[in-house]
Amino acid sequence: MPNFHRVVITGIGAVTPIGNNIDEYLVGLQKGTNGVSDITLFDPEQHPCKFAAEVKNLQSENFIEAKESKRWDRFSQFGVIAAKQAFNDSGLEITEANASRIGVIIGSGVGGLLTMESQAQILSHKGPKRVSPFTVPMMIPNMATGLAAIALGAKGPSSSVSTACAAGSNAIGDSFRLLQLGKADAMICGGAEASITPLGVAGFASAKALSSRNESPQTASRPFDAERDGFVIGEGSGILVLETLENAQKRNARIYAEIVGYGTTCDAHHITAPSPGGVGGAEAIKLAIEDASLSLENVDYINAHGTSTSANDKNETSAIKSIFRDRSYLIPVSSTKSMTGHLLGGSGGIEAVACILSLTHNFIPPTINYVNPDPECDLDYVPNNAREAQVRVTLSNSFGFGGHNVCLAFSKMN
């Protein structure tokens, strides 16, 4: 049997619709801040959904030179800014001696959709000679990883995950595995997304996935509520610095928490719909708990995928109940997507950060806009207000189109 290394979190960074750094994001989670408003990134007049959870007032020039930012898609900018935040927060230094032992994995469900759309318009209206030479490197989904590695000088394991809305969590889980096996000493990992574009919004709306509550956008993201009618698209990035415990201790790093479990499965059922009863998600939760050598009684909080769609919320509730049985009703389960909207491939990153903040600040983020209980969703969803609690172990669920399911387990250090 291999001698697995323990893996800890030493740095966190976040660019979100409710805060552009960790301090702002923490306050947003504690206050139940609503990040949803009318779309400003393009004119949504002809769209059936006219609102989203946009990143606002981001001072990108503090992290990226103006000349460079023009050559980067918005999702890459979010990923690099959050990565730099997490890296600076960790106190990690990359040198010639350790660069090959430090890697980057940043997931994205869609990649550079804004670039793809804008350059397609140029191609259509102005011809092929006017298409930017930066088109391909700007739109490919691995570029947040590549640019973060370049910016930080990380020459170790490097890849990108594209498992739709599970991508950020898969990136963290895959990084965890590399560190467990001793293939790296530190990994910068998470998710990034920027899909609030005409095509992105139109595509999800046509699929009947988005809320159409245009008369009241701030109440549109309402996971587990009986009147939910679809998700609210969001954008941003959440990044962690993971290290082997030995590496963190060797440099006397501050340790936020430990990542202790990773479960991942595929429904193999449908291109968008979850498997009936959430059986694939349930298996991912079971695998994460087993991987962490936890008992069901150890789990203090579950950060749900909780998209505010009818099928997801009902099936995720069923998945949790199938694993925890009677104890399901004693575990707080909340969806921070009620505040941030759904960041697609970026959601697993910011929700992992939310779990770590829950552990370090002993509180449980709320599910805001929870007004009308759904008989099929009957757990403790921490309605509307954050809750003080002693939190020792958290789970973070992420489920994506294509049937991808991920559960991550985080724990306070023992």
- Residue 165 known to be catalytic: yes
Q: Which residues contact 329 (CB under 8 A, 6 or more apart)?
A: 378, 379, 380
User: Which residue blocks in 162-294 are alpha helix, DSSP H?
Assistant: 167-180, 198-206, 245-250, 279-291
Whole-number Å distance between alpha carbons of 181 and 410: 18
Pair of tokens at residue 297: 């009684």
- Strands, sheet with 404-411, edge to edge from the N-terminal-most edge strand: 158-159, 102-107, 186-194, 235-244, 7-15, 257-266, 404-411, 393-400, 301-303, 333-334
Whole-number Å distance between alpha carbons of 296 and 148: 37
In a 13 Å sphere around the CA of 242, the CA atoms on its Cβ side amount to 34
Coil, strand or helix at 404: strand
Whole-number Å distance between alpha carbons of 402 and 54: 25
Q: Which of 165, 355, 377, 407 is catalytic?
A: 165
Pair of tokens at residue 343: 């960041």
In a 13 Å sphere around the CA of 382, the CA atoms on its Cβ side amount to 27
**C-alpha closest to that of 272 among 403, 109, 110:** 403
Whole-number Å distance between alpha carbons of 350 and 12: 9
Write out the H or E segment, with its range, that includes residue 235: strand 235-244
Whole-number Å distance between alpha carbons of 94 and 12: 17
31 by Cβ neighbours in 10 Å (0-12 / 13-18 / 19+) ranks as middle
Coil, strand or helix at 284: helix
* Residues 276, 280, 286, 287, Cα dihedral to 10°: 170
| Catalytically active residues, by annotation | 165
